[in-house]
Structure 1
Amino acid sequence: MHLNDRTVLITGASRGIGRELTRQAVARGAHVVAVARGFDGPAGDRVTHWPIDLADPAAVADLADRVTQRHPDLSVVFNNAGVQTLTDFLTDDPRDLRPVLRREIAVNLDAVVALSTGLLPHLRRQPSAAIVNVTTGLALAPKRSAPVYCATKAAVRSFTRALRYQCQDAAPHVRVVDAVMTLVDTDMTSGRGANKITPAAAAASILDGLARGTDEILVGRSRLLPPIMRLSPALGHRILRNT
């Protein structure tokens, strides 16, 4: 699947991987509906900014209802936006955490499900289409410091696989793809971790994997994790526990 002359929707398009996905998709000939609360990313006549707070279910539902009216040839959706909250449930005040974690769940999981399912009736009417959900190696083995983030990404990974099964049976021209990230040098990972890849490299891996027709795009060192988890789950959990 190539992006030339396609209309694609990218969430979290103003920063990090989403910003690079927008830039590179335009370079590959796509028109991009760039979804973000604020936008200072690539501009031009091939980028349409759609301001939205993905933590607001009503706004997400409105996006799913209206975007295909304005962009009837939309055929690819990248659910890329994500929020990560570092938490210690033994020391943090749960009353303070509750609204923060609900927002994390809304952006990372609820919005992904709502956009994937809300846009699916339109996508299945296209000659070919794709939903690409960006997850992480932490969906396979969580880290200690972000329990809710890891849980939401694990849920998205499971949702993505199950939705792929449904599309394979009833709409095989709609591909459902899991893009599994390694550690990427973004605002989210600032000040921690080593051996990060650039957002440009992460975005290129996603787009190249989509072009190859891969259902699971393993980016960077995340390629090592599935075989490790098959051979020794304990080792995989130990490796990622304190990342």
Structure 2
Amino acid sequence: MHLEQKWALVTGGNTGIGEQVALELVAKGAHVVIVARDRDRAQAVTARHPDRMTFIQADLSLPDEQDRVVREVTQRFPQLAILVNNAGVQVNMPAVSIGSGDQMTRFRSEIAVNLTAPVALSFGLMPLLAGQPEAAIVNVSSGLAVAPKRTAPVYCASKAGLRAFSRALRYRCEDAAPEIRVIDVIMAFVDTGMTRDRGGRKMSARASAKAIVAGIEGQRREVWVGKTRLLRIVGHLFPRLAYRLMRNG
């Protein structure tokens, strides 16, 4: 896919991986619409390339806000060709406990941002994407969708759901809208605000963003980022080993 003059929407594009994806797309000649909750941070990012970047403020954990983004993008950016469902939330539980019901508000929000919003935006913006000569839906899942960890069960489940959704949506697009490629990005352990308080070797957000954009350009169906390439092999050959390795991650 040639990115020059393409219009792309990046959720969570005001920080971390999303910010770097947005900047990388702009560097390739694309126009980018950021969807983010933090107006000040989004304005700071778009101010770097005001002729190429704009933003829509929205809280994607809310169904009404998901629908509003679809309506606004449809009205303002009918030339949209790339949707990057990047926004994500991870709720970490204590290492040893059975959990409690008082976290359900956070868990529901986690599912909404990680899974429901990508579904809503993908189907809501499908008519725009299908009208382009070439288009892409990019869903950022995780190595934790392949092998979960004990401290974030809902995050792992939502990312596994997103991975399954990407495959099923790809089947539908292959039959009914072959101009749309559906790309599943299996993300590694990346240095972002989400992982700030966790130790271990982390991939930079910029490097992970470059991998995503290279996958868009290269017409990939799956993009295994960083160490997830090894997880892919281990998970295929020795699934129990993969589970053990990721269990306490």
**For this structure pair, what is the TM-score category when the shorter chain's length is used for normalisation?**
over 0.9
Provide the rounded CA distance (Å) in 1 between the counterparts of 2:99 and 2:139.
30
**Aligned with 2:132 (options 122, 126, 149):** 126
Identity of aligned residues (%): 48
Provide the rounded CA distance (Å) in 2 between the counterparts of 1:68 and 1:136.
29
Amino acid at match of 1:41: V
What CA deviation, in whole Å up to 9, does each residue of 1:163-219 have, x standing for no partner? 000101111110000011110000101121422110000000000111111100010
1:207 aligns with 2:177: no
- Do the aligned residues in 2 keep the contact of 1:54 with 1:106 (CA within 8 Å)? yes
Amino acid at match of 2:27: A
Aligned 1:80-229 pairs, distance under 5 A: 80-88=86-94, 90=97, 92-95=99-102, 97-229=103-235
Question: For residue 35 of structure 2, what is the aligned residue in structure 1?
Answer: 35
1:71 aligns with 2:77: yes
Size of the alignment, in residue pairs?
242
1:234 aligns with 2:234: no
- Do the aligned residues in 2 keep the contact of 1:23 with 1:42 (CA within 8 Å)? no
Moved over 6 A (4+): none
Amino acid at match of 1:147: P
Query: Could you say what secondary structure the match of 1:220 adopts?
Result: coil
Question: For residue 51 of structure 1, what is the aligned residue in structure 2?
Answer: 57
- Do the aligned residues in 2 keep the contact of 1:185 with 1:197 (CA within 8 Å)? yes
TM-superposed CA distance for 1:91, in Å, is 5.3
TM-score for the superposition, normalised by structure 2: 0.94
- Do the aligned residues in 2 keep the contact of 1:30 with 1:46 (CA within 8 Å)? yes
- Do the aligned residues in 1 keep the contact of 2:135 with 2:180 (CA within 8 Å)? yes
TM-superposed CA distance for 1:42, in Å, is 3.8
Question: Unaligned 5+ residue runs, structure 1?
Answer: none
Question: For residue 15 of structure 1, what is the aligned residue in structure 2?
Answer: 15
Query: Could you say what secondary structure the match of 2:125 adopts?
Result: helix
RMSD over aligned Cα atoms: 1.2
TM-superposed CA distance for 1:121, in Å, is 1.7
Provide the rounded CA distance (Å) in 2 between the counterparts of 1:62 and 1:51.
10
TM-score for the superposition, normalised by structure 1: 0.97
TM-superposed CA distance for 1:141, in Å, is 0.4
Amino acid at match of 2:185: A
Provide the rounded CA distance (Å) in 1 between the counterparts of 2:149 and 2:113.
19
- Do the aligned residues in 2 keep the contact of 1:33 with 1:48 (CA within 8 Å)? yes
- Do the aligned residues in 2 keep the contact of 1:129 with 1:174 (CA within 8 Å)? yes
